[in-house]
């Protein structure tokens, strides 16, 4: 009788080419490529006179540097010289090496972690890498997905393989029903608040329980996207009928007899009964309220009805110093109600929260209302051109525009300060992105992570607000 295996163990074992002591050479089924971490990788290939090992394993899409306005003139419309160069370099490299690219002005363009699943480039059972830490997103479809560095991007291009250390297994169970305006983003932030940003270090996280099963695939992607913020390289969720329904009929999904064979295999992609987990953590859905980060790390998070923590109440000197530094940076006072904090800008988008479900809930909250007078800018940035079109077909763009939001083209936008969408020093933002590090959205700016519903409600109120 074969030994019971976790989902992570099954995925790893299915891809091992060779194993030596604590590391395994694993085969990579799919590499997703964007303009920021690929130039040096392609340059390395060219200098060594190498060609990509398997062209069809790769899919490229520009996202970090693309502008979300004035796209009609293409790359020539990009004012920042570094951004323009990076996108031009990606276009050139893909052409030179024969890599399949979805260019900037293609309707399918968008954020790489949105486009991959949308195009069927992300499929259950795959090993997937990208030179971007939020590659963990793709684990929502029962894939082994993790971010890699630029030298590894080159290695995968050249060999189709990568050396990896095996992770330990961590199961995070969430059971029960979430309240209407509590989303996967709140679940992710709540868990990170409980276990810390190092809580998943050294582990592959499998999310399970009735709450997770009830999430849409979009919600599962949001949760797995944030696994990296809990210290894990990869988060994953077992394949079920929702997963299979989601990938069916997509551009790069199998068809005909291959589809039937794939589905048969995909149904095995769940942890066996009795499989060993090195650690198991359990949470209750009804303990989770809408979350807002207050500091400079995703673990510095509280519920919408709570107050900014006081360093006097820290568990130790390390945490006390960390909290004091965060309060000094964000210009906040301890014991302030989070709902009393005014904001300057709002950003709804990023690889965490830019899918159609996210836009629908934000539009539902904003409908018939208008952003507050103190809000300088409220951006809604779809995760892909196809999501943008779907939202427009549903009339969501009109709701946002009527409410005072700006409706933009697809891209990473204000998640990180690498394009024209960024905060000025001293500006405070309610953001549906994934990181609130110092200067993440612009030098000297303050980022507060929230869900799309809370971002929309806060834009209407002018301060952090529940729906």
Q: Please compute the mean of the pLDDT values over residues 91-115 and round it to a whole number.
A: 97
Burial class (CB in 10 A: 0-12, 13-18, 19+), 250: middle
Q: What is the pLDDT of residue 73?
A: 87
CATH number belonging to domain 291-461: 3.30.499.10
Q: What is the pLDDT of residue 2?
A: 75
As a whole number of Å, the CA-based R_g of the chain is 21
Supply the pTM of this predicted model.
0.97
Q: How far apart, in whole angstroms, are the C-alpha atoms of residue 134 and residue 113?
A: 8
What is the pLDDT confidence band of residue 361, given thresholds at 50, 70 and 90? very high
Domain ranges across the chain: 7-165, 168-240+264-287, 291-461
Q: What is the pLDDT of residue 156?
A: 98
* First-to-final CA distance of the chain: 53
pLDDT at 1 over 70: no
426 CB neighbour count, 10 Å cutoff: 11
What is the pLDDT confidence band of residue 359, given thresholds at 50, 70 and 90? very high
Q: Please compute the mean of the pLDDT values over residues 86-110 and round it to a whole number.
A: 97
Percentage with pLDDT > 90 across the chain:
98
Q: What is the pLDDT of residue 210?
A: 98
Q: How far apart, in whole angstroms, are the C-alpha atoms of residue 77 and residue 79?
A: 6
Q: What is the mean pLDDT of the chain?
A: 97
Q: How does pLDDT run across 255-277, given as a tens digit for each residue? A: 999 999 999 999 999 999 999 99
Q: What is the pLDDT of residue 437?
A: 96
Mapping DSSP onto H, E and C, the string for 289-313 reads CCEEECCCCCCCEEECCCECCCHHH
Q: What CATH class is the domain 7-165?
A: alpha beta
Instruction: Confirm whether 7-165 and 291-461 share one CATH topology.
Output: yes
Q: Which CATH superfamily is domain 168-240+264-287 in?
A: Aconitase, Domain 2 (3.40.1060.10)
Q: How does pLDDT run across 415-447, given as a tens digit for each residue? A: 999 999 999 999 999 999 999 999 999 999 999
Closest by CA position to 440, among listed 418, 455, 460, 457: 418
pLDDT at 25 over 80: yes
pLDDT at 22 over 90: no
């Amino acid at each position: 009788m074969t030994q019971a295996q976790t989902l992570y163990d099954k995925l790893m074992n299915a891809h091992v080419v060779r194993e030596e002591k604590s590391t395994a050479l694993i085969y990579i089924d799919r590499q997703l490529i964007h303009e920021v971490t690929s130039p040096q990788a392609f340059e390395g290939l060219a200098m060594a006179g190498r060609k990509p090992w398997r062209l069809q394993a790769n899919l490229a899409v520009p996202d970090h540097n693309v502008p979300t306005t004035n796209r009609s003139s293409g790359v020539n419309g990009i004012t920042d010289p570094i951004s323009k160069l990076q996108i031009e370099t990606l276009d050139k490299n893909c052409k030179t090496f024969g890599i399949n690219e979805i260019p900037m002005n293609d309707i399918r363009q968008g954020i790489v972690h949105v486009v991959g699943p949308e195009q069927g480039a992300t499929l259950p059972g795959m090993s997937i890498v990208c030179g971007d830490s939020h590659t963990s997103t793709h684990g929502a479809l029962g894939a082994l997905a993790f971010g890699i560095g630029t030298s590894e991007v080159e290695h995968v291009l050249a060999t189709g393989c990568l050396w990896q250390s095996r992770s330990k297994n961590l199961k995070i169970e969430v059971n029960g029903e979430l309240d209407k305006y509590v989303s996967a983003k709140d679940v992710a932030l709540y868990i990170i608040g409980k276990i810390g940003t190092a809580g998943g270090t050294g582990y592959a996280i499998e999310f399970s329980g009735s709450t997770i099963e009830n999430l849409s695939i979009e919600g599962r992607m949001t949760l797995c996207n944030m696994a990296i913020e809990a210290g894990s390289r990869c988060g994953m969720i077992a394949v079920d009928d929702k997963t299979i329904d989601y990938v069916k009929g997509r551009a790069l999904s199998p068809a005909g007899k291959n589809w039937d064979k794939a589905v048969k295999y995909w149904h095995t992609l769940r942890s066996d009964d009795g499989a060993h987990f090195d650690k198991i953590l359990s949470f209750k859905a009804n303990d989770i309220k809408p979350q807002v980060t207050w500091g400079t790390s995703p673990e510095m998070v509280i519920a919408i009805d709570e107050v900014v923590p006081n360093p006097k109440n820290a568990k130790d000197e390390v945490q006390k110093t960390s909290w004091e530094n965060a309060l000094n940076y964000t210009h906040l006072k301890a014991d302030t109600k989070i709902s009393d904090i005014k904001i300057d800008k709002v950003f709804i988008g990023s690889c965490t929260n830019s899918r159609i479900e996210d836009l629908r809930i934000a539009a539902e909250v904003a409908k018939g209302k208008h952003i507050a007078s103190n809000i300088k800018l409220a951006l809604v940035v779809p995760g892909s051109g196809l999501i943008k079109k779907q939202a427009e077909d549903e009339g969501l763009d009109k709701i946002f525009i009527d409410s005072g939001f700006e409706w933009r083209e697809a891209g990473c936008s204000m998640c990180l300060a690498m394009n024209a969408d960024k905060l000025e020093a001293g500006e405070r933002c309610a953001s549906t992105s994934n990181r609130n590090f110092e200067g993440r959205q612009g030098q000297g700016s303050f980022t507060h992570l929230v869900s799309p519903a809370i971002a929309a409600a806060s834009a209407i109120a002018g301060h952090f607000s529940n729906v």
